[in-house]
């Protein structure tokens, strides 16, 4: 992957993290365990050479730890989203301010557009934007225009008909080298045609939301076949326990903004 990341922005899970939005039937998350998993995630990013900034939790936003959803950060600037879930709209302010403080200027997605960053997959030759229950067509069009101003070519992918995917990146991850990890239940849509697809078998679908960070691939622990497949392709998987984030429909990518 040509982009090497040097920084990451995270937000710690708060005491009321369990009050966030979820469709999972895996039970309530245990806060102490979520905090420990979050600390290990941060340490993993640091071990990949990134300097991390962690924002404090805000009790008004129990989903705030899923910081990826509120901004898309590119080498030439950021776009602050307008999250698709009403309860998450206010999460953007502190993240926009933190990015500005880190020297990253931003523009915004405006009403009636909605975008969740989990629907935005950056690759080496452009950006895929998923249309989902969270990201609408108006939001995707605005984001595509803003990214165009930043020199990035965006392609939209409508995945509303695919069951069980909260976000585009629930189902795919860009591995670098022209490769996409992709959940088995996602059809080979035309937008994916220019990539080599690395299929993630149905029993390990959650692991498709992995994150290439410099020389490693962060991957959810407990999905050995996918980790082996990555290793066979020459990647260096770094497994991380994600149980308490999975319970709130969160994956690896949503816990940080990397830039
Ligand atoms: C939500 O439903 O918005 C949160 N509970 C989970 C968001 C996960 N974000 C992501 O995958 N990018």
In sequence order, what DSSP letters do the residues of 7-52 get, joined into one string?
EEEEE---TTGGGS-----S-PPPHHHHHHHHHHHHHHHHHTT-EE
Q: Select from 28, 254, 258 the residue to mutate for testing ligand 1; criterion: most ligand atoms less than 8 Å from CB.
A: 254
Predicted confidence at residue 25, as pLDDT, reads: 93
Assess contact for 256 and 68: CB atoms under 8 A: yes
Token pair of 29, please? 């998350």
Assess contact for 88 and 69: CB atoms under 8 A: yes
Whether 176 maps to a domain, the answer reads: yes
Whether 221 maps to a domain, the answer reads: yes
Whether 2 maps to a domain, the answer reads: no
Q: Can you give the CATH number for the domain in which 163 is found?
A: 3.75.10.10
- The domain total for the chain is 1
Question: By residue range, what is the domain housing residue 79?
Answer: 7-258
**pLDDT 10s digits, 158-203:** 999 999 899 999 999 999 999 999 999 899 899 999 999 999 999 9
Predicted confidence at residue 56, as pLDDT, reads: 98
Q: From the CA of 166, give the closest atom in ligand 1.
A: 11
Q: From the CA of 116, give the closest atom in ligand 1.
A: 12
Q: Which residues line ligand 1 (CB under 6 A)?
A: 20-22, 63, 66, 68-69, 85, 88, 118, 166-167, 170, 248-251, 254
3-state secondary structure of 249: coil
Active site residues: 167, 254
Predicted confidence at residue 188, as pLDDT, reads: 87
Sequential DSSP letters for 124-148: TTEEEEEESSSS-HHHHHHHHHHHH
Q: Select from 250, 253, 254 the residue to mutate for testing ligand 1; criterion: most ligand atoms less than 8 Å from CB.
A: 250
Task: Name the maximum alpha-carbon separation found in the chain.
Answer: 45
Residue corresponding to tokens 């690759």 = 123
d(CA 120, CA 131): 9
d(CA 258, CA 118): 13
How many C-beta atoms lie closer than 10 Å to residue 105's C-beta? 9
Whether 1 maps to a domain, the answer reads: no
- pLDDT tens-digit profile, the chain (259 residues): 567 999 999 999 999 999 999 999 999 999 999 999 999 999 999 999 999 999 999 999 999 999 999 999 999 999 999 999 999 999 999 999 999 999 999 999 999 999 999 999 999 999 999 999 999 999 999 999 999 999 999 999 999 999 989 999 999 999 999 999 999 989 989 999 999 999 999 999 999 999 999 999 999 999 999 999 999 999 999 999 999 999 999 999 999 999 9
3-state secondary structure of 170: helix
Q: Which of 236, 206, 238 has its CA nearest to residue 41?
A: 238
d(CA 220, CA 25): 19
Whether 87 maps to a domain, the answer reads: yes
Whether 166 maps to a domain, the answer reads: yes
């Amino acid at each position: 992957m040509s982009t090497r990341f040097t920084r990451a922005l995270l937000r710690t899970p708060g005491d009321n993290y369990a009050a966030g939005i979820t469709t999972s039937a895996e039970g309530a998350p245990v806060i102490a365990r979520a905090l420990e998993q979050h600390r290990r995630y941060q340490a993993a990013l640091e071990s990949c050479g990134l300097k991390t900034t962690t924002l404090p939790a805000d009790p008004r936003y129990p989903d705030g730890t899923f910081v990826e959803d509120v901004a898309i950060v590119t080498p030439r600037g950021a776009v602050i989203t307008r999250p698709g879930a009403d309860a998450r709209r206010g999460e953007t302010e502190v993240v926009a301010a933190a990015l500005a403080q880190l020297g990253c200027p931003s523009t915004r997605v405006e009403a009636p557009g909605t975008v969740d960053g989990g629907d935005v997959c950056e690759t080496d030759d452009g950006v895929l934007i998923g249309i989902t229950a969270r990201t609408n067509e108006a939001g995707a069009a605005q984001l595509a225009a803003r990214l165009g101003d930043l020199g990035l070519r965006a392609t939209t992918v409508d995945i509303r008909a695919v069951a069980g995917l909260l976000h585009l990146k629930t189902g795919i991850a860009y591995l670098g080298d022209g490769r996409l990890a992709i959940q088995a239940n996602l059809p080979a849509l035309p937008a994916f045609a220019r990539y080599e697809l690395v299929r993630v078998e149905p029993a390990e679908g959650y692991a498709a939301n992995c994150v290439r960070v410099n020389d490693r691939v962060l991957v959810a622990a407990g999905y050995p076949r996918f980790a082996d497949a990555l290793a066979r392709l020459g990647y260096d998987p770094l497994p991380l326990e994600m149980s308490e984030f999975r319970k709130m429909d969160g994956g690896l990518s949503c816990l940080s903004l990397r830039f």
